[in-house]
Chain A
């Protein structure tokens, strides 16, 4: 494989200037002692290279919390096509890249969502390696190594950044930086491999994923759901922070005279009480227990429809943002796995 390059860290400023010349650069920025957020950055010093999970995942760049999708005036209906400046997302970790993969599949499935696609196509994504903390469990979800969703992926190998190329657009960017980068040598490759091996051994959080599917199928009626559901506040914090939660609501905003207006799409949460209610005051998921276990199943068991993937990428955001302290996915999975062990032990 020849598509590996290195950049001496001292030259990163100059590489950053090349990014800025192409568009608006967004990267993780420290916003409090413990939290980070993807923000527009104007200088390298603003970038928090040490950041793990940002408060909101970078899905917001392709799928904003609120966006106008249709406008109407008189009897003319128009698709809203906003001017989208070219954006460069720097510092996207493997879990979030896997999240992009899932969002791409959902919004790309026919009929494809061009509101999402337009923003996705006007972007360049540069991934960045990271070291897990006690909440990360991408390893259990099989998303710890970047497999796509990026144009370039940067691994920190000490004195240099190691660049893997994901797309022709990424390659073209490196070509424009050919004064700065050089082809990776054997030594660089060894250090690259060492980094990923060390990282793989650094996970302290996780579970054995092999039986996840069957455990969730079998434990649909487990009392754990009742216990967790009774403590859930239905605040919906766990969904906007998730890199793969894509559910939305569509709302109309009319002008005062009623002659014109727009149709807006807004992030919604399956944890809100009315999410699955229909006419006749009938709610298909009336209690927090119903909603919480639906969410867990969707994340960890995944779709029964043809997509066939789980929709958790192991970023740990839901765990750290749950005010009730119940959204500890790893703990819940371990308890579900344990409860089956216990039963099989008893019936031996």
Chain B
């Protein structure tokens, strides 16, 4: 049993800040504890801005070494305070928490990754992991949807991904008006249109991360393609305050999302009350 508080964070010094859009910056922190090396795709950490508060942020890179990358969107108190900080300042980090995407189960299988909006942050940890261990997996399809093509994150990384032969990438935006982005093919449409388009068959494992509304429609289309509920993996967002199964903020029905999740298979979610992300489909 650990003798120090599970709620205490280790210092993380901001090494670099890369603005991706006005409100989405990629932060790289040094990890003084070394604990974050254990991060797996889909897990999260609690980021603390002293004097302001904490919030859960997904691990954004496939491998965590001396540093960890987090993609943060400025939405409220903690994230705005972080956006005021500069390289060299320190924050608190603790984690990793939760069960991420079951990469061991995915081994040897065909994989489709579906990201909506900021959901691309945790999905990035997964594609980087898969590419790092490419020979362990079958086909790899990546679908990324957003409202406006301005919102596209990881533009340069996508340019490289689009050139690779071992991954098929589909990017869609509901609105693409505005300055041209010559090097990236962004199709007009939604995540659901890309699911229809992509050669996904019933034997695929599918990992999804996006807003609740996306899940409902995406899951419907994927099920139409014959993918069983046990192959559909959804990452749920709840207000995780402690991350360790104590504070109760992340309850879904009787389960702690922070411990049992955030990633669940649809087959599990179908049995839980309060899961607004799925339709609790009949037989």
Contacts and interface: CB of A to CB of B under 8 A. Distances in A.
A250 B51 contact: no
A308 to B, nearest CB: 10
Given A72-B50, A252-B53, A278-B239, A114 B247 contact: no
A294 B92 CA distance: 32
A14 interface: no
A229 to B, nearest CB: 14
A282 B256 CA distance: 19
Given A72-B50, A252-B50, A276-B238, A246 B248 contact: yes
B76 interface: yes
Contact of A249 (B4, B8, B241): B241
Contacts of B247: 247-250, 268
A256 to B, nearest CB: 10
A52 B107 CA distance: 59
Contact of B6 (A72, A112, A252, A304): A112
Given A246-B248, A305-B254, A75 B260 contact: no
Given A106-B246, A220-B273, A302 B254 contact: yes
A279 B77 CA distance: 11
Contact of B248 (A111, A254, A268, A304): A268
A106 B247 CA distance: 10
Nearest to A302: B254
Contacts of A119: none
A251 B241 CA distance: 10
Contacts of A302: 254
Interface in B1-33: 1-11
Interface in B193-212: 211-212
A69 interface: yes
A79 interface: yes
A168 interface: no
B254 A304 contact: yes
Contact of B3 (A114, A246, A263, A265): A114
A258 B75 CA distance: 22
A70 B94 CA distance: 13
B254 A250 contact: no
Contacts, number: 122
Nearest to A253: B51
A249 B239 CA distance: 11
Contacts of A251: 53
A115 B2 CA distance: 12
A109 interface: yes
B101 interface: no
Interface in A63-78: 69-70, 72, 75, 77
B75 A279 contact: yes
A251 B2 CA distance: 23
Contact of B51 (A107, A247, A252, A298): A252
B51 A261 contact: yes
A279 to B, nearest CB: 4
Interface in A273-290: 275-280, 282, 284-285
B7 A69 contact: yes
Interface of A: 69-70, 72, 75, 77, 79, 106-107, 109-115, 220, 246-252, 254, 258, 261, 263, 265, 268, 270, 275-280, 282, 284-285, 294, 297-298, 301-305
